[in-house]
Structure 1
Amino acid sequence: MAGNYISEDERWDLVDKISGRIVTYGEYKQSLRDVIGELTVVPLTGIPVAIAVLYAFWSIFCSFAGSLMTDGFMVKLFDNYWLPWLQSVWPDPNGWIYFLFVGDPAADNCFEAFGMLTSGLFVSLGVVLWAVLIFYLMMTLLEDSGYLPRLAVLVDTLLHKIGLHGYAIVPAILGLGCNVPAVTATRILETKKQRFMMMTLLAIFIPCGRSLV
């Protein structure tokens, strides 16, 4: 064993010799993407970019959701066609089955009918589905573009002051769409204290987008 022993300096010399034979180093050229990436994590330029990105995120979400749900296609489809058709073909408007599936016979919109085939379908297919679709498409765009981790780096110093890490910004952004997945996303935080703090912030300061649209 003693004959096979080499000192620490000799070990590192051996590592250098091996790496020198198998590792090649190329010349680094800074690209436009690298420059933009650096600008997004520096507070002087990163904060305005973050405000612009989040404002665009919220604006696209609200405009898309509003055009489809609040006063758009899905409302007209359910209220002008689906609800009148159900009320006309369903037998016995005074029976309990009618109230269960269609809802209030005097209702003129699906949201206030409170039936399984009226309010139940309208909320799930006419509201939630499209809101979730556009929201997660935009989240995927932020993630795949590499901006989401850069945003976490940008806000890390600020969130550290209240006992959280930069990646707590992910539940905060999810809360702009719906607080339910936002609360679920708090499991990425390390301690119960951090998760409780983040859930409290979500409940008080982050508006649920579905309730505002």
Structure 2
Amino acid sequence: MFAAACASCHGAYGEGGVEGLASSLWTRELTPDMVRRAVRLSGPRSPAGDSVFPRNLLGNGMPFWTAERMSDLELEDLTAYLEFAANPALRSCGSRPEEAPRLLRGGRFQVVMHGVRGRVEHWSDGTIRIREFFYDGLGPRDVVVWLYNHDRNNFHAILDGFAVSEHLARSRPYLGENFELTLPGDVHSGRFNAVAIWCTSVQSTYARVILRAD
């Protein structure tokens, strides 16, 4: 999220971007509330009678980000990243215990075929955890865990998703197993809101779940 929204001005590592455009983040101690306020309220104030920008902005040069441009969940991802990466106090060894991973959202599979069921959880440490997973294993070899952005107005939205697991094929069924998948580094919360057990060769869904905040 930082690379997509902030790095062009603040630099790839928060060191400051183009001279005079944005300052370094390493010279300040950022709190979560400061980050949230800066993202949501930065921007120029509109002159009297001009409604181009909201009237309650901070009056600085940083663009403001509405929920349409950056969701609340994406903002929390960014806040957590900056709290560590851009805060010198937190970067000091031993200055603060590492925060335990938090459950961001989850849900249970809706079965379509092959007896797939189980619970899916998205955690703040960048993992997808699948618990009590059942699957009869009788599908083709190329059945995978698949992430995508569900859109009830676009039946084909699932085709734009991506796999985050190896093929699930094996010689015996899955009978209530637990496993954990690590998301690629460039995958943030805004890139998916649903998980499917998906057969890539025939583009068939065996089960799916829309993730919701718990």
Give the helix-richer structure, 1 or 2: 1
TM-score normalised according to structure 1 size: 0.28
Q: Which has the larger radius of gyration?
A: 1
